[in-house]
């Protein structure tokens, strides 16, 4: 049995509404609403401010699907009540970012600016030109867009220039040893 799937999800203090209808699980909260298709063989039960994800005994459900369903529902509940946030930092001389309409404009050491379309449902802000803050209710979209930005210029291992997550540690390599020093 899935260890993750067995854990109850606490709903205490969260102003959310959960509906299961037409083969979908819908969660509404103060920040918005999300829905996913219901996983076959999974039942959802709410009792005493806790949400339980249960297996239907008549339908065979794999543990991975059971744990996945619980994780997706938990992410939806967290998203509509508190939201998700990723922070990216630009390191390098002349590296900066700015928002132009629904585009994120990056100056990252190329001859031309790199423009990325900001997806629907995500709020992007730039502080001091070097800190990009991505916020939203959908954990996947927030993480995917942050990874897309980081992939434009990953931190290089010698000087650490590039785009990194705010608390990411970049391992640095030693440079070339000087030639002919010993002789």
Q: What Å distances lie between residue 159 and 91, 93, 100, CA to CA? A: 9, 11, 29
Does residue 172 fall inside a structural domain?
no
Does residue 30 fall inside a structural domain?
yes
State residue 59's pLDDT score. Answer: 77
How much is the average pLDDT of 25-44? 90
Does residue 42 fall inside a structural domain?
yes
pLDDT band at 180 (very low <50, low <70, confident <90, very high): low
If one counts the domains in the chain, the total is: 2
Q: What is the pLDDT of residues 5-15, one digit of tens each?
A: 889 998 888 88
User: How many other C-beta atoms are found inside a 10 Å radius of the C-beta of residue 132?
Assistant: 25
| Nearest C-alpha neighbor of 138 from the set 63, 19, 33, 65 | 33
Answer yes or no: is pLDDT of 49 > 80. yes
Answer yes or no: is pLDDT of 1 > 70. no
Answer yes or no: is pLDDT of 99 > 90. yes
Q: Bridge-partner residues for 98, per DSSP?
A: 105
State residue 55's pLDDT score. Answer: 83
Full domain range(s) for residue 120: 84-165
Residue tagged 């927030």 (tokens):
142
Does residue 120 fall inside a structural domain?
yes
Q: What is the pLDDT of residues 64-89, one digit of tens each?
A: 788 888 999 999 999 999 999 999 99
Region of poorest pLDDT, from 56-70, 90-104, 163-177: 56-70
Does residue 69 fall inside a structural domain?
yes
Percentage of residues in the chain having pLDDT higher than 70: 97
Q: What Å distances lie between residue 137 and 8, 12, 76, 88, CA to CA? A: 21, 19, 7, 18
Does residue 37 fall inside a structural domain?
yes
- Give the SS3 label for residue 72: helix
Whether residues 89 and 147 share a domain: the answer is yes
Does residue 34 fall inside a structural domain?
yes
Show which of 50, 81, 112 is a domain's final residue.
Answer: 81
Q: How far apart, in whole angstroms, are the C-alpha atoms of residue 21 and residue 109?
A: 50
* Mean pLDDT over each residue of the chain, to the nearest integer: 90
State residue 66's pLDDT score. Answer: 83
CA-CA-CA-CA torsion for 127, 170, 153, 144, nearest 10 degrees?
Answer: -70
State residue 182's pLDDT score. Answer: 62
Structure tokens at 124: 């992007």
Whether residues 103 and 73 share a domain: the answer is no
CA-CA-CA-CA torsion for 142, 148, 152, 156, nearest 10 degrees?
Answer: 70
pTM of the model: 0.87
**Burial of 177: CB neighbours in 10 Å, binned 0-12, 13-18, 19+:** exposed
């Amino acid at each position: 049995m899935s260890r993750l799937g067995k854990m109850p999800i606490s709903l205490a203090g969260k102003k959310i509404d959960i509906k299961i209808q037409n083969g979908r699980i819908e969660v509404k909260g103060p920040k918005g609403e999300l829905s996913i298709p219901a996983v076959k063989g999974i039942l959802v039960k709410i009792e005493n401010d806790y949400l339980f994800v249960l297996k239907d005994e008549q339908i065979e459900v794999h543990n991975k699907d059971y744990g996945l369903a619980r994780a997706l529902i938990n992410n939806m509940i967290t998203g509509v009540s508190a939201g998700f946030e990723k922070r990216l930092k630009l390191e390098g001389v002349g590296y900066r970012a700015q928002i132009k309409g629904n585009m994120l404009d990056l100056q990252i050491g190329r001859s031309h600016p790199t423009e990325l379309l900001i997806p629907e449902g995500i709020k992007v802000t730039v502080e001091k030109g070097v800190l990009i803050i991505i916020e939203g209710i959908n954990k996947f979209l927030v993480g995917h867009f942050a990874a897309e930005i980081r992939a434009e210029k990953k931190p290089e291992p010698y000087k650490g220039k590039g785009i990194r997550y705010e608390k990411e540690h970049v391992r640095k390599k030693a440079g070339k040893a000087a030639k002919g020093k010993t002789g």
